[in-house]
Copies of this chain bind each other. A is one copy, B any other.
Amino acid sequence: MLTLADKFSALDTEHAPGQETRQDTGDLHAILRGEPLDGTPVDFSHGDVDAFPPTPGALEAWNAGYARGAEQAYTEYRGAAPIRERVAERLGAFTGQPIDADRELIITPGTQGALFLALGATVAAGTRVAVVEPDYFANRKLVKFFGGDVVPIPLRYLGAPQENGPDLDRLETAFASGTSVFVFSTPNNPTGFVCSASHIATIASLAAAHGVTLIVDQLYARMLYRGESYTHLCAGATQPEHVVTIMGPSKTESLSGFRLGVAFGTASIIDRMERLQAIVTLRAAGYNQAALDTWFAEPTGWMETRIRAHEAIRDDLLAVFRAAGFPVATPQAGSYVFPQLPSLAVTPSAFVKLLRLQAGVTVTPGTEFAPDAYASIRLNFSQDHAAAVAAAQRIVAMVERYRA
């Protein structure tokens, strides 16, 4: 049994994305090399909604929600019924699997809220939960907070496309030996890896065979680059008894400031998630829910333009890092790159702080995503294009400066 002190030690946020302003950098001055590097500061810890603004109409939708008054301020805990109906319809069309808006979908405060509720609904003390490494930093923390045991599943992502993927042998062994929940993101955060149709079919079959609950984080499923294809687990021929899919408009659509997400799937889990939401935040902010009406209803061509703009930044950043010799996978989807840096004369944690201090570049250390990913850094490249490329060049310059 973990003590509260242990639990909160596992929840350390010093290096969490967005918390960098709380870091103490006073101890870095003894190891400084060289002068500050000029350039527009870039915070790669999250996307820049000034560079890629929220979906057209989101502002107006919020104001219309506010104007509706009481009915929008106080919704069911799982979200306003008419909004759930419209979102369920669109997500059903997107995934290819119809969703019952009354029983199978909940609106949450961000996809973070959805992940929290989904794991809270399925993980208790001693629950064994398979977690991909690397994967979204909160997954491991959530499992630990609820008292579960993390069963790591390595993800291969730097090989040839046909060699990449989660280690399905390890997954099968885990499922066969008491693991009862599997949480994973596809597209993967931080690598941009997308599970193939074959991976998804195998995962679904194994989960069905062993009675494992699947929690599939599809936050970046819409930002799919040219030549890639996406497979929705929830629409496959084989369905495990318990599947929850998580999505939201915080990333591609830049609505993070609204804190909106959805989870859809097995009604009994959605019901538990609503009970938990009742004591966590009651509901996603009422007026904000109205912005979901812009989701999957963007102006014609808007999404295509947004994806192409990200693809161009992706390609330029990959060129910068590859020219410097850093191993880096080509993200198939999403706006993260996860390059590996060479050996440095300072600790990875110090280097990340030095990047902020000397180069005006904020990145997230790889160890937030996997315990052994100390050589990697994550960049969210949903940024001003020119500023992002210049910042990537400063990262390379800083690596040269601090090479072991």
Contact = CB atoms under 8 A, between A and B. Distances in A.
Contact of A257 (B72, B259, B279): B72
Interface centre among A69, A116, A138, A286 (most CB of B within 10 A): A69
A351 interface: no
Interface string A368-403: 000000000000000000000000000000000000
25 contacts: A4-B122, A7-B124, A8-B272, A11-B272, A11-B278, A11-B279, A13-B278, A18-B77, A21-B76, A46-B74, A49-B69, A49-B73, A50-B70, A62-B66, A66-B257, A74-B256, A109-B259, A116-B279, A125-B147, A138-B279, A257-B287, A258-B287, A259-B288, A280-B281, A285-B285
Contacts of A18: 74-77, 282
A16 interface: yes
Interface residues of A, number: 68
A101 to B, nearest CB: 13
A110 B11 contact: no
A286 B257 contact: yes
A-B pairs, top 3 by smallest CB distance, nearest first, are A73-B257, A11-B275, A259-B285
Nearest to A1: B125
A59 interface: yes
State how many copies of this chain the complex holds.
Answer: 2
A145 B279 CA distance: 9
A254 B66 CA distance: 12
B124 A3 contact: yes
Contact of A124 (B4, B280, B282, B287): B4
Interface in A76-121: 76-77, 81, 109-110, 112-113, 115-116, 121
Contact of A259 (B7, B53, B278, B283): B283
A109 B109 contact: yes
A22 interface: yes
A142 interface: yes
A347 interface: no
Interface string A192-234: 0000000000000000000000000000000000000000000
A281 B49 contact: no
A366 to B, nearest CB: 18
Contacts of A19: 76-77, 278
A153 interface: no
A145 B256 contact: no
Nearest to A72: B257
A278 B16 contact: yes
A22 B63 contact: no
Nearest to A283: B259
A251 to B, nearest CB: 12
Interface in A260-292: 272, 274-276, 278-288
Given A16-B278, A63-B63, A76-B19, A286 B116 contact: no
Contacts of A62: 62, 66, 287
A82 to B, nearest CB: 12
Contact of A113 (B3, B138, B147, B281): B281
A259 B124 CA distance: 28
Contacts of A76: 18-19, 21-22
Given A70-B49, A288-B288, A280 B279 contact: no
Contacts of A2: 124
A235 to B, nearest CB: 27
A27 interface: no
Interface string A117-152: 000011111000000000000100110010100000
A12 interface: yes
A13 B285 contact: no
A316 interface: no
